[in-house]
């Protein structure tokens, strides 16, 4: 358990020890909660150099901190009116004004003695001996090598100097990767051992907290400096939504006993239940009324699928049934009892205010599951309401909800104008090329259905700008285009090698620490903002023997709008004879392997799938017998030829199961043949002319499989172009109809 200090005011008083002038009275109603948790704008950030944090503290010296005994937990408050807790939302602050770019340095190598000290320092960090690491670092004169050792120290968790030392590194080396990791370390240290409140506030005004520990530390400092409104907003945000250990929960309750009310503890219990953190929710029971404890028990029964779940929900007292959580778990129970219509009717009573829902993501997931079950039952109006009445606040959830609402409106309710409105909202929230292309393609499809052919062409043109995406390729077909024009491909530039972190990566390589070199290379892909630099980072990863990381970096560059198809869709990662051995189209083998492992020959999934094409050992053994190869499980991750030979044979088998249908074979490769047979029964057979294969793919109920099929088909088109040196036609539409 962490030792957590209570809130210490500048006057030396402790908020959790007794009444003080600035203590926040416990809110007695939802109105109080809402009024005191309004959106709080954060002021513009100051340049890092002006922070008092660094004014009087050397980078390697920690200010002494005195431990103060924590007060006892608060007594349970009497039950009152139904609690309708709200999650405080805090306005995002402006982007940092300071420059986060890394400095350029020369490319000189270390002397023999310095390299020995460098290696020894890194070994000491690995052994958690930070004092020894500092000693070895002092023997190094090279500034980049010194920074590299310090980066590894503060990334792993600084010893002497603690939070101030880590912050000093961030200020002096703003362009180095792993910034969020280091900031999380700082926040954990501030949570455990508070610093001067003014310094802490200045630090978080510069960059708001990333973690629950940081939010608590910030709240404590704000309250200590008299900023009660903003402090309570951050405190409630952390308490309602963040997962803490039982020890940390007790420490927080003790430290903020006069700020956190019974209603706040109920809001935490509900937030944890949405995330199925039953133990965390149950730990709030001592601070709640009997009726509220009954709600926790009922929700727990639903989550655990117990036979008494419905009776437990019915046993919750009437006043507590006004809690959104009671409604949520009642919806879930009805759905799991095979009554989606009853569940949906309950869902229509859900609050629209996202603050009251606490976890809008989980509410959207429940709506999405219900929506698809309702479509299966022909309940299209109710299905539409599940999406259209969402209260999502995160972009990813808004994008999904608005797409589903538009899709149902267009394809099932035949209301293209309503659909266009939803797809327009989706487009406004989309940045990823996959989502942008999807939004504009469907907006174009809705526009065409409404008779607006000119608008449809404009929409298809916007979607087709993202020609490596599934819907971008479909949009190109609508415009009569029959080629994938990959355009000018960004070429690698060595200029990025002059940056401090890339020079450090070279030093790590020379020291035999390719793992640290790779961490820097991957991390730098979040900082660069030009195509040649993305390409160079991908090349560096490939040169280190990690083609999968090269692909991942190149994908990030592609998402940022740069054409790095050479690295994002490599051609040299699959042996030619292996990919051709089964007669399966080579572009399809590449497409599957890219989606399965990003060409990581040593990949092993949590489920046990192995190698380039992610074969389960049992599947590989069965296929090896069928093709006359001896089975060797270890070769699945050590021999790419062997893995691809078996994987392409298995893929050929799935193609044979479905008369050559690419979409059905890809779905079966991901979810199994039995699932695809089931979906044929539910949604029809896309090999027949009565079924639109585009709609069939969208009806796949598993989000992972639905996405998988689209990514494989889009990958295949790009690989057809790459393998043919851009002479192959764009065939996505024809490929969707394969098997007819």
User: Can you give 595-624 as a three-state secondary structure string?
Assistant: HHHCCCCCCECCCCCECCCCECHHHHHHHH
- Judging by beta carbons within 10 Å of its beta carbon (0-12, 13-18, 19+), is residue 46 exposed, middle or buried? middle
Give the number of other Cβ atoms within 10 Å of residue 394's Cβ. 13
CA distance to 73, 506, 733, per residue, from 107 (Å)? 58, 9, 51
Q: CA-CA distance, 219 to 222, in Å (whole number)?
A: 5
Q: CA-CA distance, 322 to 83, in Å (whole number)?
A: 8
- Phi and psi at 604, nearest 5°, equal -130, 120
3 state DSSP class of 11: coil
Two tokens, residue 256: 């903020």
- Phi and psi at 643, nearest 5°, equal -60, -45
Q: CA-CA distance, 676 to 451, in Å (whole number)?
A: 35
CA distance to 36, 93, 231, 233, 706, per residue, from 40 (Å)? 10, 10, 10, 8, 40
Q: CA-CA distance, 347 to 367, in Å (whole number)?
A: 8
The alpha carbon of 64 is separated from its chain's Cα centroid by a whole number of angstroms, namely 38
- Phi and psi at 615, nearest 5°, equal -90, 135
Catalytic residues: 596
Two tokens, residue 274: 């949405």
Checking 346-352 for CB contacts under 8 A at 24+ apart, the result is 347/386, 348/382, 348/385, 348/389, 350/324, 350/389, 350/391, 351/84, 351/324, 351/391, 352/389, 352/391
Type and span of the H or E element at 117: helix 112-126
Two tokens, residue 616: 């389960």
DSSP state of 8: B
Q: CA-CA distance, 216 to 646, in Å (whole number)?
A: 53
Q: Are 385 and 408 in contact, with CB atoms under 8 Å apart?
A: no
């Amino acid at each position: 358990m962490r030792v957590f200090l209570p809130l210490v005011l500048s006057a030396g008083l402790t908020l959790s020890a007794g009444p003080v002038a600035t203590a926040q009275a416990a809110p007695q109603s939802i109105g109080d909660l809402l009024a005191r948790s309004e959106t709080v704008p954060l002021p513009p950030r100051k340049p890092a150099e002006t922070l008092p944090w660094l004014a009087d503290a050397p980078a390697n010296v920690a200010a002494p901190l005195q431990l103060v005994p924590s007060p006892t937990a608060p007594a349970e408050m009497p039950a009152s009116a139904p609690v309708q807790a709200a999650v405080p939302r805090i306005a995002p602050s402006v982007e940092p004004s300071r420059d986060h770019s890394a400095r350029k340095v020369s490319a000189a190598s270390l002397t023999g003695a310095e390299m020995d000290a460098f290696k020894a320092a890194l070994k000491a960090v690995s052994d958690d001996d930070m004092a020894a690491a500092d000693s070895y670092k002092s023997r190094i004169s090279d500034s980049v090598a010194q920074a590299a050792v310090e980066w590894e120290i503060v990334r792993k968790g600084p010893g002497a100097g603690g939070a101030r030392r880590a912050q000093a590194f961030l200020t002096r080396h703003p362009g180095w990767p792993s910034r969020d990791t280091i900031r999380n370390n700082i926040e954990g240290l501030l949570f455990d051992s508070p610093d001067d409140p003014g310094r802490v506030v200045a630090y978080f005004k510069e960059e708001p907290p990333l973690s629950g520990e940081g939010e608590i530390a910030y709240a404590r400092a704000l309250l200590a400096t008299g900023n009660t409104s903003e402090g309570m907003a951050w405190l409630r945000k952390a308490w309602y939504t963040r997962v803490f250990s039982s020890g940390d929960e007790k420490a927080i309750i003790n430290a903020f006993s006069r700020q956190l009310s019974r209603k706040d503890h109920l809001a935490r219990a509900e937030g944890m239940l949405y995330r199925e953190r039953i133990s965390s929710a149950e730990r709030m029971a001592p601070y709640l009324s009997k009726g509220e404890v009954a709600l926790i028990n009922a929700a727990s029964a639903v989550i655990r699928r117990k036979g008494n779940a419905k009776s437990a929900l019915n046993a919750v007292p009437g006043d507590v049934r006004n809690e959104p959580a009671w409604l949520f778990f009642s919806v879930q129970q009805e759905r799991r009892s095979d009554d989606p219509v009853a569940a949906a009717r309950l869902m229509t009573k859900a609050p629209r205010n996202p603050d009251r829902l606490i976890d809008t993501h989980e509410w959207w997931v429940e709506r999405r599951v219900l929506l698809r079950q309702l479509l299966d039952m022909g309940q299209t109006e109710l299905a539409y309401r599940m999406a259209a009445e969402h209260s999502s606040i995160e972009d990813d959830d808004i994008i999904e909800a608005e797409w589903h609402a538009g899709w149902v409106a267009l394809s099932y309710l035949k209301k293209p104008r309503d659909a266009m409105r939803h797809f327009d909202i989706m487009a406004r929230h989309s940045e990823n090329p996959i989502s942008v292309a999807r939004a504009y393609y469907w907006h174009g499809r809705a526009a065409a259905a409404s008779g607006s052919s000119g608008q449809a062409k404009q929409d298809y043109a916007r979607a087709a700008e993202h020609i490596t995406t599934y819907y971008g390729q479909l949009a190109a077909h609508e415009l009569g285009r029959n080629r994938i024009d990959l355009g000018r491909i960004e070429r690698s530039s060595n200029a990025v090698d002059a940056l401090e972190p890339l020079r450090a990566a070279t030093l790590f390589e020379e020291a035999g620490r390719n793992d640290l070199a790779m961490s820097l290379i991957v991390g730098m892909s979040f900082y660069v903002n030009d195509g040649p630099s993305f390409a160079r980072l991908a090349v560096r990863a490939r040169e280190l023997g990690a083609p999968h990381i090269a692909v991942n970096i190149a994908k990030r560059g592609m998402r940022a709008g740069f054409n790095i198809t050479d690295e994002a869709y490599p051609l040299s990662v699959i042996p030619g004879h292996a990919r051709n051995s089964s007669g399966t189209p080579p572009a399809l083998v590449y497409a599957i392997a890219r989606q399965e492992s990003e060409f990581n020959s040593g990949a092993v999934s949590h489920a046990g799938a192995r190698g380039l094409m992610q074969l389960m050992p049992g599947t590989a053994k069965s296929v090896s017998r069928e093709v006359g190869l001896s089975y060797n499980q270890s070769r699945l991750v050590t021999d790419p030829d062997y893995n691809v030979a078996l994987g392409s044979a298995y893929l050929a088998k799935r193609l044979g199961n479905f008369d050559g249908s690419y979409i059905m074979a890809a779905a079966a490769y991901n979810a199994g043949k039995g699932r695809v047979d089931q979906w044929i029964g539910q949604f029809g057979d896309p090999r027949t002319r009565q079924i639109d294969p585009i709609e069939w793919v969208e009806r796949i109920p598993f989000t992972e499989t639905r996405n998988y099929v689209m990514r494989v088909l889009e990958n295949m088109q790009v690989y057809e172009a790459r393998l043919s040196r851009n002479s192959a036609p764009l065939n996505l539409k024809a490929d969707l109809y394969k098997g007819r």
